[in-house]
Structure 1
Amino acid sequence: MKHIHFIAIGGAVMHQLALALHRQGNKVTGSDDEIKDPARSNLAAAGILPEQEGWHPEHITEDIDAIVLGMHAKADNPELLAAQNINIPIYSTPEYVYKVSEDKHRVVIAGSHGKTTITSMIMHILREQGLGFDYLVGAKVEGFDQSVQLTDAPIIILEGDEYPASVIEKKPKVFFYKPDLTVLSGIAWDHINVFPTYEIYLNQFEQYLSGIKDSVTLIYNNEDEAVQQVVKSSAKHLKTMPYVTPEYHYEDGTAIIKTKYGPAEVSVFGRHNLLNMQAAIKVCMELGIDEADCYDAIGGFTGAARRLEKIIDTDNLVAFRDFAHAPSKLQATLKATREAYPNHKLIACFELHTYSSLSEQFLSHYAGSMDGADEALVYFSHHAIELKGLPPISKEEVERHFNKQGLKAIDNRAELEENVTAILNETDEPVCLLLMSSGTFDGIDWKNVSSQLG
C-alpha cells in the first residue's frame, strides 16, 4: 500500500484517479481550495473527502510516497512547496497514470476533437466482447460507473489531451503515455492561451508522433489535411493505418451504415461520429476483435455525456446537449443534426465558455460556424471573461465575428431562457434544439425551460 496525496483533488479526472487508486487499497489523501459536485459526493462516499477546503502544508509529511499535482494548483501552492522542500516525488496526472500502467498495453487516443467519443466507443465494444481493460476517459460514459479504472487488466485505454500536464510540467499530457497503439483523430487549433499560434499547436502533434517508439501502429483520420501533414512529416517510423467515413444514410433519424456484412443500424448520428466509429473499430480489431463483432457491439453505443446527448424527446421537440466549442466542432455538430432531422427547425444555442472562445483574438475564427442553424443564439458571461483575466467583449462584437444574419448574442441568463422559450412557442413545426457548450449556460435547467412551453 502506498500513500498518495493529491494537490487539487477536486478536478474531474483528478478525483476519479484518486478514487481508482483508493479502490486498489492505497491510502489516498488530498486537498483543494474548492470541491464541487460530483467530485464532493464521490469523494465523500469513498471516505476520502478532505475535512477542510484549502491548502494545508502541515499535511505534507515524509510518509507520503507520491504527490499527484493537478493543473488547478499554482507554482506557489504551499503544499507543492512543502513537498519540494522534503523531496517527495511529484507527478502530473498523466505521469502517474503512466507509472501505474507501465506494464500494460497502452492505447492512446489523441487529437483536437473526437477523443472522448472514440475512447468511449472502444470501451463499449471491449466490454460487449468481454475483454478486460482499464481506462481513463474525460466524460461520464453510459454503462460505466467511473471515468478512471485501474485493475490488473492487461490493456488500458487512455484519452490523451494536448493541454499541459501541470504547472511544473508544461509538456502536453499525451506526451507521457508512451503508446503501444494510438489514434490521431483530427487537428484544429485550440487552447490559444497555451499555444498562441497554429504552427505551435500543430507542432505538439508532430512532437507526439516523433516521440513514439518504432513500429507502433498509428490509426489516423485520412480526411483531415492537418493530420495528413503531420503523419507525412513525423510518422515515417510508425505503422500507419488510415480511416475514413463509411457510406451511410438515414431512416427516420437513425443512421444506417454500409458494411461488407450488410447494413448496420447505429445509435449515434452525424458524419463526424461515424468517422469516430471507424477509428474505434480499427483499434478494437488491432486488439483482436473480429470486425463483424465490432459492428454488432457498436450498434448499442448510446454515447458519452454531453456528446450529442439527447436530453429531451417529445413529438414536437428533440433537444441535444453537446460539448462542441471550437468552430470546426460547431459546424460538424450542426451538420449532423441537420442530416438526422431534415424536417425539423434547427435552433442552435452556443455558449462562449473556454479561454480561446472568449478571446477577441480567436473570435473571428467563428465566422460562418453557425450558418447551418435556422435560429442562432450565442451566450457569454461577463463574469467568466473577468475570471479568465480577458478584456471585455460586447454583444455587438460577438454578432459581428459570427457574421450570420439574425444571430443574436446574449449576455444575461434570464434573457437567454426567455429568448429560447419565445422561439419555441412561436414555432409551429417540430424543433431540434441544439445546446453547445463546454460549460453549463450558467446552470440553466433546459428540461424546465421546455416544460414551460405553451
Structure 2
Amino acid sequence: MNIHFIAIGGSAMHNLAIALHQKGEKVSGSDDTIHEPSKSRLEKYGLLPESFGWFPEKINKTIDVVILGMHAKKDNPELVKAEELGLKIYSYPEFLFEQSKNKTRVVIGGSHGKTTITSMILHVMNYHEKAVDYMVGAQLEGFETMVHLTEENEFMVLEGDEYLSSPIDRRPKFHLYKPNIALLSGIAWDHINVFPTFENYKEQFKIFTDSMINGGSMVYNIEDEHVKDVVESSENHIKKYPYKTPNHFIENGITYLETAEGALPLEIFGNHNLQNLAGAKWICQHMGIDEDDFYEAIASFKGASKRLEKIASNKNTVIFKDFAHSPSKVAATTKAVKEQFKDWTLLACLELHTYSSLNAEFLAEYQSALDSADKAVVFYSPDAVKIKQLEAVTHEQIANAFQREDLIIYTNPKEFSDFLFDQNLAKTALLLMSSGNYGGLDFEKLKGCN
C-alpha cells in the first residue's frame, strides 16, 4: 500500500510509520515541525520529510490510505485535499483496528497504569519468545519501536488511550478497538478539556466495556470502586476476572512478591505497580503463559520509560523520573517511593504541565497528592499557561489546592533549577514528576549531583 501520514512527527505516528515501512509498505508523510527523537528515527529509515510544512500537491489518487494525526487541524491543507479526492482517511486507532481485525485483540485501558501493564505483558512475551503485534505508549528496553505489525502473529496487544482519535473523529481511541481480551486498571478524572465532568469521563469506560466482543474476557482492578462499578454493572456478555494488590513485603529497599514458590524479588515497587503486575499476570495467562513462567519473566522487568524510571543512584541518593501528572498518579507514585525509602528524605517535585493540571478549577483535585513527601515542590511555567490559552494560575491557588503549608512553589525555571542543585541529597530520594521538562532542566547534570 501507498500510505501517507499527515502529522508524521508525533510519538505514536512516527512509530506506526516506521512499523509499516518495516512491513514493506510505501510510506510518506508531512508535518510542520518534528522534534527529537522522532526526527532522528524517521531520518534513519528514510522517512523524514524533505522540508517541514503542509503540501497539498503531495496528495493524489495514487495514495491508498491517509493516516491523520491529532496534531493536524480540521482545515489542514493536505486533509482538505484528501477529502476532496475521496481518499480513505483513517485515524491512528482506526488504522490499528483494520490491521488487527483478524487477530485476538488485547486492549489495556485505564486512567493510569496502562503503559506499564502493556509493557509488562510485552516484556513477558518477549522473554518467552512469543511473538505478538503491539502498540504501546513508551519506548521499551529490547524493543526498537512502539508499534509492531505483521500478518502472521495471533495476538495484537494495544494500549487503550481514552483521548480523542483525530481532529475529525472525536471518539476516544479505545472505543475503536473492540477487544477480545481487555483490562481496566483504574478510573480517575483526566482530560478535563474533553470530558468536563467526572461522570462524562467515567461513561467512556462504560462504552469501552460494552464495546468488547460477545464472550470476551475483562480483567479489572476490583480495588478501584469506579472500575468495579463499570465492569460489574455491565450487561455485556463477557467473562469478568477481578484482580487486587498481591501479598508482598519490603526488605532492605527491595520489594518481594509472595508466591507459592517463595518470595520473588522485584525490580519495581509500589502498590500501584504491584496491582499492575497482578493485572498483567491475568492477561498473560489468557494469552497462554502460565503463572510460573510469568513470575520467571517479570522478575527482570525494570519498568517502562519515564514510569518510575531510576535515572541515577548511589548508596546515599536515588533519583527517579516519572511521567505522573494526574492527581491519582502523583499520589500513588509519591506514596510508593516513600514506602520504598521510608528512612530517607523524599523530595518530590511536580511540574503542572498538562491542560487539566493548569486549569484553576481542576487544581483542587490535587489536595493531599504530595502528602507522602517530606519536602514537596510544585513548578509550573507561566509560558505553558499562555500556550494552552488558559487563565494564569496564581501562587495562592496552587497553595490552596494542595493544602500543604510547607509547599514550595516555583514559576521560574532557573530558580527551580538552582534550588535543586543547592540541595544536599544525602539519604534522599528525589522524585521528579512531569510530562514536561521543568522549563529545560539539565537532567544529565542533575545525575552527576547524586
Taking structure 2 as the reference length, the TM-score comes to: 0.98
Q: Report the secondary structure of 2:164's partner residue.
A: coil
Q: In the TM superposition, what is the alpha-carbon distance from 1:181 to its structure 2 partner?
A: 0.4
| Map of 1:93 onto structure 2 | 92
Matched residue type, 1:393: V
| Map of 2:63 onto structure 1 | 64
Deviations 1:329-351 (A, max 9, x none): 11110111011111110000000
Deviations 1:407-429 (A, max 9, x none): 1111111111111222x22x6x5
Per the alignment, do residues 218 and 452 of structure 1 end up closer, same or farther by CA in structure 2, a change over 3 Å counting?
A: closer
Q: Determine if contact 1:209/1:235 at 8 Å carries over to the other structure.
A: no
Instruction: Give aligned-pair identity as a percent.
Output: 47
Matched residue type, 2:340: A
Query: Does residue 445 of the first structure (1) align with residue 450 of the second (2)?
Result: no
Find the aligned partners of 1:87 and 1:205 in 2 and give their Cα distance.
Answer: 33
Find the aligned partners of 1:299 and 1:447 in 2 and give their Cα distance.
Answer: 28
Q: Determine if contact 2:65/2:90 at 8 Å carries over to the other structure.
A: yes
| Map of 1:413 onto structure 2 | 413
Taking structure 1 as the reference length, the TM-score comes to: 0.97
Query: Does residue 36 of the first structure (1) align with residue 35 of the second (2)?
Result: yes
Find the aligned partners of 2:405 and 2:448 in 1 and give their Cα distance.
Answer: 29
Q: Report the secondary structure of 1:385's partner residue.
A: helix
| Map of 2:3 onto structure 1 | 4
Find the aligned partners of 1:451 and 1:294 in 2 and give their Cα distance.
Answer: 36
Find the aligned partners of 2:283 and 2:218 in 1 and give their Cα distance.
Answer: 9
Find the aligned partners of 1:257 and 1:316 in 2 and give their Cα distance.
Answer: 25
| Map of 1:25 onto structure 2 | 24
Find the aligned partners of 1:35 and 1:15 in 2 and give their Cα distance.
Answer: 10
Matched residue type, 1:134: D
| Map of 1:300 onto structure 2 | 300
| Map of 2:171 onto structure 1 | 171
Query: Does residue 50 of the first structure (1) align with residue 49 of the second (2)?
Result: yes
| Map of 1:194 onto structure 2 | 194
Task: Spell out the pairing of 1:345-360 with structure 2 (5 A cutoff).
Answer: 345-360=345-360
Range moving further from structure 2, 197-206 or 385-394: 385-394
Q: In the TM superposition, what is the alpha-carbon distance from 1:450 to its structure 2 partner?
A: 4.8
Deviations 1:143-176 (A, max 9, x none): 2111111123111110010001001110100011
Output the aligned Cα RMSD: 1.1
Find the aligned partners of 2:439 and 2:105 in 1 and give their Cα distance.
Answer: 37
Q: Determine if contact 1:111/1:186 at 8 Å carries over to the other structure.
A: yes
Find the aligned partners of 1:442 and 1:33 in 2 and give their Cα distance.
Answer: 23
Query: Does residue 268 of the first structure (1) align with residue 268 of the second (2)?
Result: yes
Find the aligned partners of 1:270 and 1:306 in 2 and give their Cα distance.
Answer: 15
Q: Determine if contact 1:104/1:155 at 8 Å carries over to the other structure.
A: yes
Unmatched tracts of structure 2, length 5 or more: none
Find the aligned partners of 1:346 and 1:452 in 2 and give their Cα distance.
Answer: 16
Q: Determine if contact 2:179/2:211 at 8 Å carries over to the other structure.
A: no
Query: Does residue 82 of the first structure (1) align with residue 81 of the second (2)?
Result: yes
Q: In the TM superposition, what is the alpha-carbon distance from 1:252 to its structure 2 partner?
A: 1.4
Task: Spell out the pairing of 1:353-372 with structure 2 (5 A cutoff).
Answer: 353-372=353-372
Q: In the TM superposition, what is the alpha-carbon distance from 1:396 to its structure 2 partner?
A: 2.4
Task: Spell out the pairing of 1:300-319 with structure 2 (5 A cutoff).
Answer: 300-319=300-319
Find the aligned partners of 1:150 and 1:87 in 2 and give their Cα distance.
Answer: 26
| Map of 1:145 onto structure 2 | 144
| Map of 2:185 onto structure 1 | 185
Per the alignment, do residues 197 and 276 of structure 1 end up closer, same or farther by CA in structure 2, a change over 3 Å counting?
A: same
